[in-house]
């Protein structure tokens, strides 16, 4: 039976790089993969973007109200060979019902689904897609990165300029004004003045 995998980590833990490496591994063995990401992730527009400079266009861009199963079936029908794996970047931006569809794709369609994303936002609150993946994925794997102090990073601090902020919309994509820093619990608490939410 195929499985739904959730590979999660703080910002800069190599999630997109890992996804691109998984795609390369499948294709090196002559197997077809589909890459998908939520339309919410506007960084790179239709591309998966790795910090290492590697990019690749996705096959499926998932809108907030889209059926992942319908998009998968449409994309899978475009080539004669079957899909060996579905790789989903920025899975935290999926809706819970879309995550349920990922499980059905794995179980009912027999296609392994590897979803990559961050667990919590800059306020330490779970993203709805991540929460659902943590609840139903067959396999959970934490991808690790380090904080500026050298300890394991758990949280994502949001900065505007040089100032950390702890209020605002859950989603703000990296850009000119907004940046993120992976922080351990101690550094996060120090920057937030001891608050977690």
Residues marked as catalytic? 90
169 vs 173, more confident: 169
Q: CA-CA distance, 146 to 133, in Å (whole number)?
A: 23
Mean pLDDT of 14-31: 94
Rounded mean pLDDT, 103-130: 96
Check residue 168 and report its DSSP letter. Answer: S
Q: What integer is the mean pLDDT of 85-97?
A: 96
The model's confidence at residue 80, banded by pLDDT at 50, 70 and 90, is confident
The dihedrals phi and psi of 130, each to the nearest 5 degrees, come to -65, -40
pLDDT confidence bin for 41, thresholds 50/70/90: confident
CB 91 within 8 A of CB 53: no
E strands, 51-162, where? Answer: 55-57, 60-62, 83-88, 113-117, 139-142, 155-160
Instruction: Give the C-alpha distances (Å, rounded to integers) separating 68 from 56, 61, 76, 110.
Output: 20, 9, 12, 15
pTM for the structure as a whole? 0.92
Cβ proximity of 86 and 114 under 8 Å: yes
- The Cα 147–Cα 75 span in angstroms is 39
């Amino acid at each position: 039976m195929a499985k739904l995998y959730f590979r999660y980590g703080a910002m800069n833990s190599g999630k997109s790089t890992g996804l691109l490496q998984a795609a390369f591994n499948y294709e090196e063995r002559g197997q077809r993969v589909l890459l998908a990401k939520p339309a919410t992730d506007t960084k790179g527009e239709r591309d998966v973007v790795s910090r290492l400079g590697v990019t690749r266009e996705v096959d499926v861009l998932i809108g907030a109200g889209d059926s992942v199963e319908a998009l998968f079936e449409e994309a899978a029908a475009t080539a004669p060979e079957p899909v060996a794996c579905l790789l989903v970047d920025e899975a935290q931006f999926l809706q819970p019902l879309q995550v349920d569809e990922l499980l059905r794709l794995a179980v009912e369609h027999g296609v392994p689904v590897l979803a990559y994303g961050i667990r919590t936002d800059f306020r330490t609150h779970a993203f709805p897609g991540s929460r659902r993946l943590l609840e139903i994925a067959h396999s959970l794997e934490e991808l690790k990165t380090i904080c500026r102090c050298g300890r394991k990073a758990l949280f994502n601090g949001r900065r505007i300029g040089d100032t950390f902020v702890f209020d605002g919309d859950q989603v703000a994509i990296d850009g000119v004004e907004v940046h993120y820093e992976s922080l351990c619990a101690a550094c996060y608490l120090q920057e937030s003045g001891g608050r977690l939410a």
